[in-house]
Amino acid sequence: MKILSPLLFLFFFSIIAKAQHFKVLGTAGYRIIEENKTAFPKFYQLFHQLLDQEPLLKQVIFINKKTGGPGFANPNGTITLNLDYFIRKKPRFDDNRWLVVLYHEVGHLHYFDETPRPRRNPEDSERAAFEYSLQKTKEMAMNNDCLPLKSGLQNMLLRSQSNETTDPHVRALKRMVNEPLYAEYVAFQKANCK
């Protein structure tokens, strides 16, 4: 047992150290966002607006990881953003798609706030987050900026066609894109966004 304890300690320490390796200090993260304000002006504006006005957003954590998605949210009010999407610009990841991501993550925070812990599940959380991002980008379209809504609808439809059914995003989208609410957003975009 004496040998096992130090081995367990080293094992857990290496896992923690590896996880911390990707974390970026907040000041460095904010600096990278600042440096990208001309490349992603709408994201920059919304990011700061959410920091100032979204009561459910308690903290932003930055990571720099070549794998994984652009962001995720936690029930404690934390949104994590992957700076790799700013540092190594992704071809299909423009300013409009970033708005959808930000709203998606805030949608998770609303889901966590409104849904008691025992009733939460990943697929419903993703669905709520997608619906929130569509609602918010539709509001933008009503104010003459249709591009985030268009980006969201296109990328949601594309992702719904994935075969990765272990991913709750995909499962939620496979249901959503076949339901009237999604069709209403598509119809709105076709009628109002030329």
Identify the CA nearest to 71 among candidates 132, 89, 115, 61: 61
pLDDT at residue 23 tops 90: no
Q: How far is residue 176's CA from residue 127's CA, in Å, rounded to a whole number?
A: 7
pLDDT exceeds 70 at position 58 = yes
pLDDT digits 0-9 by tens, 106-119:
999 999 999 999 99
What gap in Å lies between CA 71 and CA 82, rounded to an integer?
A: 6
> Which backbone phi and psi does 90 adopt, to 5 degrees?
-95, 135
The two tokens of residue 194 are 């030329």
Averaged over 166-191, what is the pLDDT?
Answer: 97
Q: What is the pLDDT of residues 95-108, one digit of tens each?
A: 999 999 999 999 99
pTM greater than the 0.85 cutoff: yes
| Least confident range of 53-57, 87-91, 162-166 | 87-91
| pLDDT value of position 91 | 83
* AA identity, residue 192: N
What does the pLDDT read at residue 5? 52
Considering only residues 47 and 22, tell me which one the structure prediction assigns the higher pLDDT: 47
Top pLDDT among 63 and 91 is at 63
Of residues 57 and 19, the one with the higher pLDDT is 57
3-state secondary structure of 80: strand
φ, ψ of residue 57 to 5 degrees: the values are -85, 110
Query: 3-state DSSP: the chain helix, strand, coil percent, rounded to 5?
Result: 65, 10, 30
